[in-house]
Structure 1
């Protein structure tokens, strides 16, 4: 896949010189000639949902100027990322970082600014081609691009997501972190079974991911590897694994391709566990789910499970949590029951803005809001909390289908609210 210096330089100059040439060279450098039937001249965002489906106009060089409220977000060695709004839709704009290390290093070697810009722009185009190949709910969506035929900035426009801030992640409700864990499992499975083969996340950092409407998405694919290590024997494949994985991970040398089959998949799993899953999954997990979580953590730590197994076990964890199968007591599933031992149920009543208090594992910093599988689970949580005197059940549900319960520290004159239930402890009334 590597080309000599002369061919690379001439190719890079063509990236900004002409739209078709730029796409052709980037496609060949990244994917080989087979890229053309699938990607060249395919409209950005075609066949994608989410923000792309909301935009009736494809973002191109002409409409790029209609992006408003531009603000700088971050800068790396090659790219600068901005956020803005296009026709009311939040977007991210990736372009060449004029203050980046890559551009300065290139100029320090004696190359002019045009040459150095073209080299950096080529990386953005190749990233765009890769993102468009990996169309998936957990891959950030490309909404458009600008690759000018003459002079001008090269830019890629994607949907906008929130960065993975560690502190904020730890403040999320466990159920929301479970959603991110499920997203990571789906990304790992996609990378292992992509249209381009098994791909490697060579630099696994939280900066490569964003959260869009609660869903984890891979947004930065600069450092993705397209091939697995070469080999002659299985021993060659074992030697290129980290020491921690040499006795647990399954990888072998394919006699046909002379590549280490399974290497990228297992390494991705190990890195995901090390940098994400072990930090966010165990904290605050329901006690009844801990045996399942420990098994999943072991699968990540040893990379002894395939990505398909990781995904299957994660989906099973989500199902058991959402269905309440992890609960020890014989709880009533029906939310429409009209009696609970020790509690009084008032239909169509609420206590909005009254008797709110913070509590551990709450989905709010000021209110005690937790998801429950049943009224009985909510009653058990209330009974175990000395501050809780009542709770309210409404229409709101979480992404797993569980109901949100708002716990209260007291009871007063209720407000009529259709579809709500106010349930208070009889022993908590004074």
Structure 2
């Protein structure tokens, strides 16, 4: 009986247990769904904008479309003022007092004072989600919609976040997925999606601060999410035309995951074009004033925002984007801090020698002044750095006072900008009048001069956009059907590497004729105007689609000597147009880089006399630096003396040509006289790199052209921002493995890094600096673009993909540099050479190892590298800069003590002497100042990266890098010359 009862009880318990388990599982599923998905209230979903960080680009590669009827951005100044008035209506504060107080209180929680007691980020994310839902804040796109979106190629990353292109799969949204902007006076059509997705990428700085208080790596790893949470709330409340709009977001924890659907915090923002100095250069004066006015209006708003006064810790021009062709908006809110500084007296509120009042424990007005000073130095001064020649005294006085930080309030700056904008002459679009003349048929009156512009169709053909191009009759070239480009035959994947170079006026480098141009039409005009130019080369296989590209002119048209090159295109001038006696075209012509239209200037009264005249390229260049655009040359002063202008043009051209020629000849002379010294240094370096008997040129050529194969030794940079790996070359791709000589490079280290601690472009700078001076303490490098197929193959590895994903271009390629692998024989070495506090009283000649280490120190100083005693790597006393990608991390570095030994390599001294400054009379100055070395190095480095407009790393602009190099070089020359005066040249130089 008892046995039956037991069996009966067991049968009854089974369904009950099964029912309980089912209920439990169902409850867990409901809870998971609630946590992982959005609430039913749409207001609980938002986004955070994030368009442009230091160097961040939020859209895919740009295709240029030229609008022959002008620039919609070029509006009447009155129209801009009317727009400003309308925007002020839209910017009225619509948040209730209760909402603003609640938002300010919640935002304060997102700035933890102590990380050890801070709320965990997954919990804080859910709290923020419910807060935004309760107050009806946030965007309109939520988790489910974002999860269904199509994520494009990664755009870029910062030290804390990754940004990807994102778009809806629905093709009906096509009209809203394109953003048009103006770059260099041309309409730019951004074919990428109009939204950007931002996710957390890890924040080492916050993690370190957190672990100083509580040693819990797992806990501190995700504390950087607080940055994203702050941005969500800020963008939900800062509803201003000067801040990018919030599209949507997803808050479902703090998880870090590779899949979009598994990520914890997702932010979506509107897209725009990053604001750059080249863009401001190409803008008219009213446009520059308008941009500056928008920035100042934003500063005024941030001083009294709905959540209180906000302060910038950092601010840069690249923190802004241009939206809808005209609106300058803040896209980077990472560095905004909440509230005024706390104080006990006015002495705690000091800034730039001025004390601000301490009211109720806070520095009243300090945030506003700090923001204004930051904006003037890093933003406004760059926007207004290119005023026209004819501006009145009031504008000159304003710019002068602005540069001296003489304004007491942002409102005062905005007031004067508004007044200048009212006075500014309206700049209206060109009105094209068609007359049917052979491609040069569009004209418009401008002041008393006739402006001729190429018809839209002819320009498209000349730029290579016409599909009716016919093949030439000689060796596979292509002839273009219209414009100046029709005088050239095109040969894809062809080059004249290292030969047929010649110096020319306006070149980016002294040893060749290098230019940055905006179209094929522009470079064709340049080549036609130069009797020495018989061909030119673009560092692109699709130059017709490039917005800016580097080109090099060559003085030969011999196709038989050309070589195959995967990344270049050769244009050879057809023999019927080449003549040694050909004169450059007249002085009035100009190729406007801003608009890609060929223009000629002449007096309207003389129009009939000049009808049918040829194109006349620009001959006046105010700067050696190619790529800066002078739109104000379109407006000539009516009272100017034409003869004097032509004389000035000729003088400037002759001076530039003389300077380039002298530097080039000087370096050539040093190279020829120091051939044996260079050869021995190169041989020593290549031997210590495990490449004995291999010439550097052979290694670079081999690494450039061999097919990439398998990789290993994957290393992530400790500071984030990319990494490196060893790559093997595929010899079988070159043909029979057993025939022919062995390739010079069997393997190489691929480095791709874009900050914050290391940059592969910085390595290229140090490399060129090393070779100009003939030191040979830096391994050779070559730029290599990894194809989309190779990237797709490599990124099957999760580890590889996580490291390099932020650096992959929108077209699926990855650009980096190849360097020889570090041999196992290379070890950490000691710096035996010690610095001296004062100059030595009696020179003691250096031994071999001292000489090697001094040359290492010279490059260390010029490259401003941060090193410790364990970062010197070398072999048998020969120290080598294997970590040149970390250059310019210590701009205040001073290694002058090492030169107090009064020993210096003659090869370096002679090279530096080629870059000594000149006085006003043109003779070489007796001083030791160096003026052109930094520019030469920068231009050679940027030539390796044709897609980059200028150098930018470690928060340094190209001008900062140039100044840093020249400053260190000047200090070196001063010390060496002092030693020479004291002890004699033959004693000091070895």
TM-score by length of 2: 0.30
How far did residue 169 of structure 1 move? 3.3
How far apart in 1 are the matches of 2:165 and 2:204? Answer: 18
How far apart in 2 are the matches of 1:10 and 1:341? Answer: 66
Which of residues 420, 425, 432 in structure 2 aligns to 1:317? 420
Which of residues 583, 607, 611 in structure 2 aligns to 1:429? 611
How far did residue 284 of structure 1 move? 4.2
Query: Residues 408 and 339 from structure 1, CA distance in 2 versus in 1: closer, same or farther, beyond 3 angstroms?
Result: closer
Match of 1:200 in 2: 311
Match of 1:216 in 2: 328
Give yes or no for contact 1:79–1:100 (8 Å, CA) kept in 2: no
Query: Residues 356 and 277 from structure 1, CA distance in 2 versus in 1: closer, same or farther, beyond 3 angstroms?
Result: farther
**Residue 150 (structure 2) pairs with residue 44 (structure 1):** no
1:117-136 Cα shifts (integer Å, max 9, x gaps): 54222320111101221111
**Residue 256 (structure 2) pairs with residue 144 (structure 1):** no
**Residue 409 (structure 2) pairs with residue 227 (structure 1):** no
How far did residue 286 of structure 1 move? 4.3
How far apart in 2 are the matches of 1:100 and 1:6? Answer: 14
How far apart in 2 are the matches of 1:62 and 1:220? Answer: 26
Match of 2:372 in 1: 269
1:262-291 Cα shifts (integer Å, max 9, x gaps): 211111111111112223313142422463
How far did residue 142 of structure 1 move? 0.7
**Residue 573 (structure 2) pairs with residue 409 (structure 1):** no
3-state DSSP class of the match of 1:211? strand
Give yes or no for contact 1:272–1:300 (8 Å, CA) kept in 2: no
Query: Residues 186 and 131 from structure 1, CA distance in 2 versus in 1: closer, same or farther, beyond 3 angstroms?
Result: same
1:9-58 Cα shifts (integer Å, max 9, x gaps): 33534135xx3x2346xxxxxxxxxxx6x88452534xxxxxxxxxxxx2
How far apart in 2 are the matches of 1:142 and 1:287? Answer: 41
**Residue 407 (structure 2) pairs with residue 304 (structure 1):** yes
How far apart in 1 are the matches of 2:374 and 2:608? Answer: 51
Q: Structure 2: 5+ residue runs without aligned partners?
A: 1-107, 178-193, 256-262, 433-443, 460-481, 485-516, 523-586, 613-990
Match of 1:172 in 2: 282
Give yes or no for contact 1:12–1:119 (8 Å, CA) kept in 2: yes
Query: Residues 312 and 340 from structure 1, CA distance in 2 versus in 1: closer, same or farther, beyond 3 angstroms?
Result: closer
How far apart in 1 are the matches of 2:447 and 2:363? Answer: 61
Which of residues 131, 148, 162 in structure 2 aligns to 1:66? 148
Match of 2:231 in 1: 127
How far apart in 2 are the matches of 1:224 and 1:284? Answer: 31
Structure number, greater radius of gyration: 2
3-state DSSP class of the match of 2:232? helix
Which of residues 351, 369, 374 in structure 2 aligns to 1:241? 351
Count of residue pairs brought into register by the alignment: 337
**Residue 300 (structure 2) pairs with residue 183 (structure 1):** no
3-state DSSP class of the match of 1:119? coil
How far apart in 2 are the matches of 1:104 and 1:231? Answer: 28
**Residue 124 (structure 2) pairs with residue 12 (structure 1):** no
1:365-388 Cα shifts (integer Å, max 9, x gaps): 4689xxxxxxxxxxxxxxxx8338
How far did residue 353 of structure 1 move? 3.2
Match of 1:372 in 2: none
1:56-111 Cα shifts (integer Å, max 9, x gaps): xx211111123324222232332222222234431111111048554587689743
TM-score by length of 1: 0.63
Show the 5 A alignment for 1:102-113.
Answer: 102=206, 110-113=215-218
Which of residues 368, 384, 387 in structure 1 aligns to 2:589? 387
